[in-house]
Chain A
Amino acid sequence: MSVPPEERRPPLSPQLALRVAIAGSFALGMFAIIFFRLWFLQILSGNQYVQAAAVNRLKDVPIAAPRGEILDRSGRVLVDSVRESAVVISPESLPVPVSLAALNTIEQPPRADNVLYDRLARVLGMHTRPVRCHLYVAGVNTFRLSPIACLVGQQVSLAPVQDVTVASGPQQVPTAVEFYLAERQAQFPGVSIRHVYTTNYPYGTLAAQVLGTVGQISAGELGSSPYKGIPQGSIVGQSGLEAQYNSFLQGRDGYQQVLVNAFGQPVSSISTQAPAPGENLRTSLDAALQRVGQNALAYSMSVNPSPFNPSPGGAFVAMDPVNGQVYAMGSGPSFNPGDFTHPMTQAYYDAHYRNASSDYPLLNRAIQSAGPTGSTFKPITATAALQSGVWAPNQLFDDTGLYCVGVGISQQCRHNAGHAVYGVIDLRAAIKFSSDDFFYNLGVRLNPNHPSRHPNGGALQLWARRYGIGRPTGIDLPGEVSGTLPTPLWREQRNLLEYQCDTATGPFKYSNPSGTQSGPRRLPGWHRSPKHPPGGCGIADGTNRPWSVGDSENLAVGQGDVQVTPLQLADVFSAVANGHDVPTPHIGLDVQSANGTVLQTINQPAGHPITVNPFYMDEIRQGLREAASWPGGTSASVFSSFPEQVYGKTGTAQYFNAQHVQTDYAWYACFVPPTATTKPIVIVVWVEDGGYGAIAAAPVARQMLSQWFFGRPGPYSGPWR
């Protein structure tokens, strides 16, 4: 090929040629490196970078689904969801993104973030001064942070990817603030206005423990059975019905996939998945009855004359004695579940829910607190005595005011409450007057002759078990305790535990530094448990004391080691009321769609049949009827004027309370049976440290019955008024 002459290179000096060649080779080498790098990036690894770019720009913005409502039996709304505007901070979109790792190493938020927090705080009218702030991180976990920085830190330490709600609701986020922030997104990177659904409680503290609280799903709950498939950061039921029926109540959040720019601001929407609202739960609760019960219980707790006024706790249950539908269930003190729907400070939580002085309002004492029932146990003893033949309905007993067993120096004597003397009485009168001597006598007669050969006890334990003592009732609420039915075997186990604790063996071999936990293996930081003098652990009363006749005497009158929840006692009295069945209590009735269509009826579990001679049952019921209202009956002062046929039993249990002082737990259990009314009901009331059942508990029951039958509670009829 011929080259035009002017294109021919002029002869070069060899040195310049060499240096031009060096420069050209260098350029060629650089271009080669760049081309191969581009080839590697774009052709060989292109897909990987396409994905990285997608991660950059696509963001799922959740669209909150409202939780379903909880209704009472007549459809009144006990819990609903309200749509609110919330100001949320996305920690990963802040000027300096906040991560869990950042929390662990820095004590103060980065300056750029703090400037943003302060700017936002001024808009929202929040403080900017640092306050004490607990973060759930390892090591030092108390910081001094401004309130917003504290909220961000706490949220990130709990659920790192979750957005932080700084303020919500019309009080905290007025419309003007909403607009202000929306118009100035560039000044508030990482801050956005979201519409959220907040659980709302129109009746405040009403049935708080039964309805339960909602809260963010915890690390432990995540992926565990009732919460399977629920994503991190979701609001789920944490207790009560909200937790029990979470699968119905919780909606499925929708989401919108949006294109975001480098500042995290949405540019356009790619796709939308609509949220599915939760379904409504209709319960058997009666809001009005619940309200009356709660007010009356709170009143009783506040005015009871015991040295521990106000009473640290109390509970009531009202249910249908035939089918077990719970009409009302309350626990005092109550609380406002709405506290848990907004950010709460640690100090507030400690003071109101965690410290001993709060009296633990989160505890549902109707199912989670068990104690000796006092004389309300007597119908069980009576059933056992009659059915096993150790006593006959008309058999008479001479109550001299003192009942002794044994002879000589081993003789032990007990007397009636208040040193009363009832003279010659039959079973019916014994229930009416609540003669302890009479039932001590039955307890002795029901005590097995050779306790060691009857590890599960005798007829008394048999019938107590049939009435449901010592096992959970099976109500549709989480966390129910089973209580205790003392038997010879149980006592042996307690003795063994006492021995192991005293000698620091078995499960007591090692304990943690604070001594609150122990176990058979040495965990990190644990030490060998200290030994105790025999009986020093207080697990059993005494050292290796075998089952004695005194245990049976105690059990016969509901004192001592027996532990019964108010709901279990309500079940016992339901069985007495209907005569044949220990119902399984339940609250959930059906699941409805938002417009009230019944989607699913919740199965009503069958009860436990109990076969008692109807004649015997009549005797017991008659005793209860006379005890409730007849002159001389234990609660006649409360119920003598009540128009309905009330069958009731007082109970006053001696108990060592948290201060190790012996006090009286006041019980009252009563029913209006299906034979006497078209709307039968059983009510159990329990007031801790309340004194006599007739004084502290029965008036609460009366107000509830009055509400149930006549639609108004009537005056509080405490004898001290």
Chain B
Amino acid sequence: MSATTPIQPVDDAVMPRSRSRSLPVFDPLLALAALGLSACSYVTLNGLGGTGPALAQRQALYDGGGLLLALLISRFDYTRLREFKYGLFGMMVLLNLVVYAMPAVANAHRWIPLPLFSFQSSEFGKILIVVALAAFAVDRSRRLHEWRTTARIMLLAILPALIVIPQPDLGTAMVYVAVGFSVLFFVGTPFKQIGAVIGIFAGAIVIVLVVAPAVGVHVLHGYQLDRLTAFLNPSSCSNLQPGAPNPCYQVQQSVIAIGSGQKTGLGVHAYQTRLGFLPVDYTDFVFASIGETYGFVGAGVVLSLYALLIWRTLRIVAMSKNLFGTLIGAGVVAMLMFQIFVNVGVTIGIMPVTGVPLPLVSYGGSSVVVTFIAIGLLESIYIQARMAQAGKGRALIN
């Protein structure tokens, strides 16, 4: 097989078709992981103290709404979305541009205020870009050997990322790029080109972090740069310029919180969380709160659920009935993995501070609903694959 051959999941005609009537309507393990994480989120937020219980109730509402959306989406054939790729991509760009016209909240243009909740465009952009890039990649899947294909798909990811960065939302921008990279990876782009993309990223990081500041161009905000350099050089936090804000403070407090949780956690005596030493303990540092309150055991449960989630997603990637499904799954798995590993990595001090939510666990309507939409899509891919297996050509009953 040539390296440029598009990956084409084989519709298996050889599968036995017995027991087709008792086919599950969705992947139960994927659903279990999603619901389990939602439950962890509720328990964690409820135990934060202060406004925690109120957040937990709203989060439960978002979970319910997201779950309904997921159930609905899972009943549709995702394949139809290919037709709307230009509309989806355009909507994503538009939504991300509209926020700049909205009033700033805490110096950030990220939200569109709606009656019930604030709509975070960049979050919804995640799922839109996954579907749009998957569709574009499918269209180009016969010309994968061309560098233009690779460049075009990466540019389609980088363009919205550049729109999102000044909101400012560096984390989401990096998610977009990760989604683009993952789609490229799973569509079957030759490893040579994958390697070249990685090389270009490495070069870009060097330019942004080293060269650009040296010539006076500041791509990143000062605090973003500080966090990155603080991560790369932790000793810079122990001998700070007097009076300068400590760029390591958040991570130091987070690591103290997680470490002090020990085996089984401190429960109501999780003072790092409850007395406000832990910053944004309901979103970016919610994992530290879990680690302090429920210890190694609690953190292990949450991580196991994420492992389950990723395993099932990769399995759906592998079993999809068509390339479009594979690539949607690829985009979703990139989105989930990036957010999980970066968010958890930040809280345990092995990643530079980047504001990305922990899927389904961090408080936030947009993030929760988008993740459930993604899971609905995955279930749709799963169901369609099963249907294809069970009876090739049989019409989908809906």
A positions within 8 Å CB-CB of B:
4-6, 8-17, 19-20, 22-24, 26-27, 30-31, 33-35, 37-39, 41-43, 45-50, 52-53, 56-57, 96, 98-99, 101-106, 109-110, 259-263, 267
Q: For A34, what are the chain B residues with a Cβ–Cβ distance below 8 Å?
A: 303, 341, 344-345, 348, 350
Q: Is the C-beta of B267 less than 8 angstroms from some C-beta in chain A? A: no
Contact of B242 with A16 in the complex, beta carbons under 8 Å: no
Select from chain A the residue with minimum beta-carbon distance to B255.
Answer: A41
Q: How far is the CB of A399 from chain B (nearest CB, A)?
A: 78
Do A110 and B243 form a contact, CB below 8 Å, given A9-B319, A17-B318, A19-B186? Answer: yes
Contact of B296 with A12 in the complex, beta carbons under 8 Å: no
Contact of A33 with B5 in the complex, beta carbons under 8 Å: no
Contact of B314 among A27, A45, A57, A109 (CB under 8 A): A27
Contact of A49 among B259, B326, B385 (CB under 8 A): B259
Do A101 and B291 form a contact, CB below 8 Å, given A31-B307, A50-B262? Answer: no
Q: For A110, what are the chain B residues with a Cβ–Cβ distance below 8 Å?
A: 243
Complex: A46 Cα to B297 Cα, angstroms = 13
Contact of A53 among B19, B257, B315, B333 (CB under 8 A): B257
Q: How far is the CB of B333 from chain A (nearest CB, A)?
A: 7
Q: For A38, what are the chain B residues with a Cβ–Cβ distance below 8 Å?
A: 258, 291, 296, 299-300, 303, 348
Q: For B253, what are the chain A residues with a Cβ–Cβ distance below 8 Å?
A: 56
Known: A19-B188, A49-B257. 6 other contacts (CB 8 A): A5-B16, A16-B188, A46-B260, A57-B272, A102-B243, A105-B241
Q: How far is the CB of B116 from chain A (nearest CB, A)?
A: 30
Question: What are 22 A-B pairs with beta-carbon distances under 8 A?
Answer: A5-B18, A6-B390, A10-B10, A12-B318, A16-B188, A16-B326, A27-B314, A33-B350, A38-B300, A38-B303, A42-B262, A42-B296, A43-B263, A46-B262, A49-B259, A52-B259, A53-B256, A57-B271, A106-B243, A260-B275, A262-B276, A267-B275
Q: For B311, what are the chain A residues with a Cβ–Cβ distance below 8 Å?
A: 24, 27
Select from chain A the residue with minimum beta-carbon distance to B296.
Answer: A42
Contact of B258 with A41 in the complex, beta carbons under 8 Å: yes
Q: Is the C-beta of B180 less than 8 angstroms from some C-beta in chain A? A: no
Q: How far is the CB of B124 from chain A (nearest CB, A)?
A: 25
Do A53 and B260 form a contact, CB below 8 Å, given A6-B386, A34-B348? Answer: yes
Q: Is the C-beta of B127 less than 8 angstroms from some C-beta in chain A? A: no
Q: For A56, what are the chain B residues with a Cβ–Cβ distance below 8 Å?
A: 253, 256, 271-272, 275, 277
Q: How far is the CB of A107 from chain B (nearest CB, A)?
A: 11
Complex: A49 Cα to B253 Cα, angstroms = 10
B positions within 8 Å CB-CB of A:
1, 3, 5, 7-12, 15-16, 18-19, 23-24, 182, 185-186, 188, 241-243, 245, 253, 255-263, 271-272, 275-277, 291, 295-296, 299-300, 303, 306-307, 310-311, 314-315, 317-319, 326, 333, 337, 341, 344-345, 348-350, 385-386, 389-390
Complex: A109 Cα to B243 Cα, angstroms = 8
Contact of B275 with A259 in the complex, beta carbons under 8 Å: yes
Contact of A6 among B9, B344, B389 (CB under 8 A): B389
Select from chain B the residue with minimum beta-carbon distance to A104.
Answer: B242
Q: How far is the CB of A550 from chain B (nearest CB, A)?
A: 66
Select from chain B the residue with minimum beta-carbon distance to A30.
Answer: B341
Q: For A109, what are the chain B residues with a Cβ–Cβ distance below 8 Å?
A: 243
Select from chain B the residue with minimum beta-carbon distance to A31.
Answer: B307
Contact of B337 among A5, A27, A50, A96 (CB under 8 A): A27
Select from chain B the residue with minimum beta-carbon distance to A97.
Answer: B243
Q: For B23, what are the chain A residues with a Cβ–Cβ distance below 8 Å?
A: 6
Contact of A49 with B260 in the complex, beta carbons under 8 Å: yes
Contact of A49 with B16 in the complex, beta carbons under 8 Å: no
Work out how many contacts link A and B, with CB atoms closer than 8 A: 176
Contact of B9 with A52 in the complex, beta carbons under 8 Å: no
Complex: A46 Cα to B333 Cα, angstroms = 33
Select from chain B the residue with minimum beta-carbon distance to A27.
Answer: B310
Select from chain A the residue with minimum beta-carbon distance to B14.
Answer: A11
Contact of A50 with B307 in the complex, beta carbons under 8 Å: no
Complex: A17 Cα to B295 Cα, angstroms = 36
Main SS of the interface on chain A? helix
Q: For B255, what are the chain A residues with a Cβ–Cβ distance below 8 Å?
A: 41, 49
Do A42 and B261 form a contact, CB below 8 Å, given A13-B7, A20-B317, A56-B272? Answer: yes
Q: For A19, what are the chain B residues with a Cβ–Cβ distance below 8 Å?
A: 7, 185-186, 188
Q: For A267, what are the chain B residues with a Cβ–Cβ distance below 8 Å?
A: 275
Complex: A30 Cα to B336 Cα, angstroms = 13
Contact of A31 with B303 in the complex, beta carbons under 8 Å: yes
Q: For B242, what are the chain A residues with a Cβ–Cβ distance below 8 Å?
A: 99, 101-106
Complex: A43 Cα to B306 Cα, angstroms = 21
Complex: A27 Cα to B315 Cα, angstroms = 13
Select from chain A the residue with minimum beta-carbon distance to B3.
Answer: A15
Complex: A6 Cα to B348 Cα, angstroms = 40
Q: For A23, what are the chain B residues with a Cβ–Cβ distance below 8 Å?
A: 182, 185-186, 314, 317, 333, 337
Complex: A33 Cα to B344 Cα, angstroms = 11
Contact of A259 with B271 in the complex, beta carbons under 8 Å: yes
Contact of A42 with B303 in the complex, beta carbons under 8 Å: no
Contact of B260 with A50 in the complex, beta carbons under 8 Å: yes
Determine which residue in A53, A103, A104, A263 has the highest number of CB atoms from chain B within 10 A of its CB, and name it.
Answer: A53
Select from chain A the residue with minimum beta-carbon distance to B278.
Answer: A262
Contact of A10 with B9 in the complex, beta carbons under 8 Å: yes
Complex: A56 Cα to B253 Cα, angstroms = 9
Determine which residue in B18, B23, B310 has the highest number of CB atoms from chain A within 10 A of its CB, and name it.
Answer: B310
Contact of A13 with B9 in the complex, beta carbons under 8 Å: yes
Q: For B12, what are the chain A residues with a Cβ–Cβ distance below 8 Å?
A: 10-11
Complex: A96 Cα to B249 Cα, angstroms = 13
Q: For A26, what are the chain B residues with a Cβ–Cβ distance below 8 Å?
A: 337
Contact of A20 with B303 in the complex, beta carbons under 8 Å: no
Complex: A14 Cα to B9 Cα, angstroms = 10
Select from chain A the residue with minimum beta-carbon distance to B252.
Answer: A52
Contact of A5 among B15, B300, B306 (CB under 8 A): B15
Select from chain B the residue with minimum beta-carbon distance to A45.
Answer: B259
Q: How far is the CB of B213 from chain A (nearest CB, A)?
A: 23
Complex: A48 Cα to B252 Cα, angstroms = 13
Determine which residue in A11, A27, A41, A57 has the highest number of CB atoms from chain B within 10 A of its CB, and name it.
Answer: A41
Do A96 and B390 form a contact, CB below 8 Å, given A16-B9, A38-B348? Answer: no
Do A15 and B291 form a contact, CB below 8 Å, given A8-B15, A52-B260? Answer: no
Q: For B317, what are the chain A residues with a Cβ–Cβ distance below 8 Å?
A: 16, 20, 23
Q: How far is the CB of A353 from chain B (nearest CB, A)?
A: 33
Q: For B1, what are the chain A residues with a Cβ–Cβ distance below 8 Å?
A: 13-15
Do A43 and B9 form a contact, CB below 8 Å, given A6-B390, A10-B15, A17-B318? Answer: no
Q: How far is the CB of A537 from chain B (nearest CB, A)?
A: 48
Select from chain A the residue with minimum beta-carbon distance to B329.
Answer: A20
Select from chain B the residue with minimum beta-carbon distance to A57.
Answer: B271
Q: For A106, what are the chain B residues with a Cβ–Cβ distance below 8 Å?
A: 242-243
Do A42 and B386 form a contact, CB below 8 Å, given A27-B314, A37-B348? Answer: no
Contact of A10 with B319 in the complex, beta carbons under 8 Å: yes
Complex: A96 Cα to B140 Cα, angstroms = 55
Complex: A34 Cα to B243 Cα, angstroms = 33
Q: How far is the CB of B126 from chain A (nearest CB, A)?
A: 18
Complex: A110 Cα to B245 Cα, angstroms = 10
Contact of A20 with B314 in the complex, beta carbons under 8 Å: yes
Q: For B389, what are the chain A residues with a Cβ–Cβ distance below 8 Å?
A: 6, 10
Q: For A99, what are the chain B residues with a Cβ–Cβ distance below 8 Å?
A: 242
Complex: A50 Cα to B222 Cα, angstroms = 32
Q: For A5, what are the chain B residues with a Cβ–Cβ distance below 8 Å?
A: 15-16, 18-19
Contact of A41 with B245 in the complex, beta carbons under 8 Å: no
Q: For A49, what are the chain B residues with a Cβ–Cβ distance below 8 Å?
A: 255-260
Q: For B256, what are the chain A residues with a Cβ–Cβ distance below 8 Å?
A: 49, 52-53, 56
Contact of B291 with A12 in the complex, beta carbons under 8 Å: no
Give the 10 A-B CB pairs with smallest separation, nearest first: A49-B259, A102-B242, A46-B262, A262-B276, A110-B243, A261-B275, A53-B260, A16-B7, A49-B260, A42-B296
Q: For A14, what are the chain B residues with a Cβ–Cβ distance below 8 Å?
A: 1
Do A16 and B186 form a contact, CB below 8 Å, given A42-B261, A49-B255, A99-B242? Answer: yes
